[in-house]
Structure 1
Amino acid sequence: MHVLTNGTVVDADGVREADVAIEDGEIVAVGDTGRGDTTTDVGGKFVAPGLVDSHVHLMMDGRPDVSTAQGESDFDHSYIAAANLRKAVEAGVTTVRDLGATGTLALDAGRAVAEGRLDGPRVLACAKNVVMTGGHGHWFGREADGPNEVRKAVREQLKRGADVVKCMATGGVLTEGAQTGAPELTYEELAALVDAADAKGVPTAAHAHGKDGLLNAVDAGITSIEHGTFMDREAAEAMAAEGTYWVPTAAALRNIVENPDAGIPKSAMEKADEAAEAFVSSFEHAEAAGVDIAMGTDAGTPFNYFDNIADELAYMVEYGLSPEAALEAATVTAAELCGLDDTGRVAEDYRADLVVLDGNPAEDADAWQRPEAVFAAGDRVV
Structure 2
Amino acid sequence: MHVLTGGVVADVDGTREADVAIEDGEIVAVGDVPDGDTETDVSGQVIAPGLIDTHVHVMMDGRADVSTIYDDSPYTASYRAVANLQDAVRAGVTTVRDLGSRKTLALDAGTAVDDGILTGPRVLGSGQNIVMTGGHGHAFGCEADGPDEVLKGARQQLKRGADVVKCMATGGVLTEGAVTGSPELTEEELRAAVSAASAKGVPTAAHAHGDEGIKNAVRAGISSIEHGTFMDREAAEMMAEEGTYWVPTASALVNIVDNGVEAGIPEEAVAKAEDAAGRFEHAWEYALDAGVDIAMGTDAGTPFNQFGDIPRELELMVDYGLEPDAALEAATVNAADLVGRGDLGRVAEGYRADLVVLETDPNTDVTAWQSPTAVFADGERVD
Task: Sort the TM-score into its range (normalised by shorter chain).
Answer: over 0.9
Q: Secondary structure at the match of 2:259?
A: coil
Q: Secondary structure at the match of 1:238?
A: helix
Aligned alpha-carbon RMSD (Å): 0.5
After TM superposition, give the deviation of residue 197 of structure 1 in Å: 1.0
Taking the aligned partners of 1:332 and 1:202, their CA distance within structure 2 comes to 18
After TM superposition, give the deviation of residue 263 of structure 1 in Å: 0.5
1:180 counterpart = 2:161: no
Taking the aligned partners of 2:155 and 2:208, their CA distance within structure 1 comes to 22
Counterpart for residue 333 of structure 1 = 334
1:98 counterpart = 2:98: yes
Counterpart for residue 65 of structure 1 = 65
Counterpart for residue 361 of structure 2 = 360
Q: Secondary structure at the match of 2:303?
A: coil
Counterpart for residue 111 of structure 2 = 111
In the TM superposition, 1:2-41 aligns within 5 A as 2-41=2-41
In the TM superposition, 1:124-273 aligns within 5 A as 124-260=124-260, 261-273=262-274
After TM superposition, give the deviation of residue 20 of structure 1 in Å: 0.2
Q: Secondary structure at the match of 1:71?
A: coil
What residue identity is the alignment partner of 1:304? N
What residue identity is the alignment partner of 1:374? V
Taking the aligned partners of 1:40 and 1:206, their CA distance within structure 2 comes to 42
Counterpart for residue 300 of structure 1 = 301
Taking the aligned partners of 1:68 and 1:36, their CA distance within structure 2 comes to 50
After TM superposition, give the deviation of residue 232 of structure 1 in Å: 1.2
Taking the aligned partners of 1:154 and 1:63, their CA distance within structure 2 comes to 29
After TM superposition, give the deviation of residue 69 of structure 1 in Å: 1.0
| Structure 1 spans left out of the alignment, 5+ residues | none
Q: Secondary structure at the match of 1:140?
A: coil
After TM superposition, give the deviation of residue 305 of structure 1 in Å: 0.1
After TM superposition, give the deviation of residue 10 of structure 1 in Å: 0.2
In the TM superposition, 1:306-345 aligns within 5 A as 306-345=307-346
What residue identity is the alignment partner of 2:306? Y
Taking the aligned partners of 1:81 and 1:284, their CA distance within structure 2 comes to 35
Q: Secondary structure at the match of 1:139?
A: coil
What residue identity is the alignment partner of 1:297? T
Taking the aligned partners of 1:175 and 1:273, their CA distance within structure 2 comes to 15
Taking the aligned partners of 1:145 and 1:8, their CA distance within structure 2 comes to 53
What residue identity is the alignment partner of 1:170? T
After TM superposition, give the deviation of residue 277 of structure 1 in Å: 1.0
| Structure 2 spans left out of the alignment, 5+ residues | none
When normalised by structure 1's length, the TM-score is: 0.99
1:29-69 deviations in Å (ceiling 9; x for gaps): 00011111111110100000000000000010000001111
Q: How many residues align?
A: 382
Taking the aligned partners of 2:249 and 2:136, their CA distance within structure 1 comes to 17
What residue identity is the alignment partner of 1:263? G
What residue identity is the alignment partner of 1:284? E
Taking the aligned partners of 1:357 and 1:237, their CA distance within structure 2 comes to 36
What residue identity is the alignment partner of 2:154? V
1:166-197 deviations in Å (ceiling 9; x for gaps): 01000000000000000000111011111111
User: Percent of counterpart pairs with the same letter?
Assistant: 70
After TM superposition, give the deviation of residue 283 of structure 1 in Å: 1.0
Spell out structure 1 runs of 4+ moving beyond 4 A: none
After TM superposition, give the deviation of residue 75 of structure 1 in Å: 1.2
Taking the aligned partners of 1:191 and 1:167, their CA distance within structure 2 comes to 10
Taking the aligned partners of 1:47 and 1:270, their CA distance within structure 2 comes to 42
Taking the aligned partners of 1:187 and 1:377, their CA distance within structure 2 comes to 39
After TM superposition, give the deviation of residue 257 of structure 1 in Å: 0.3
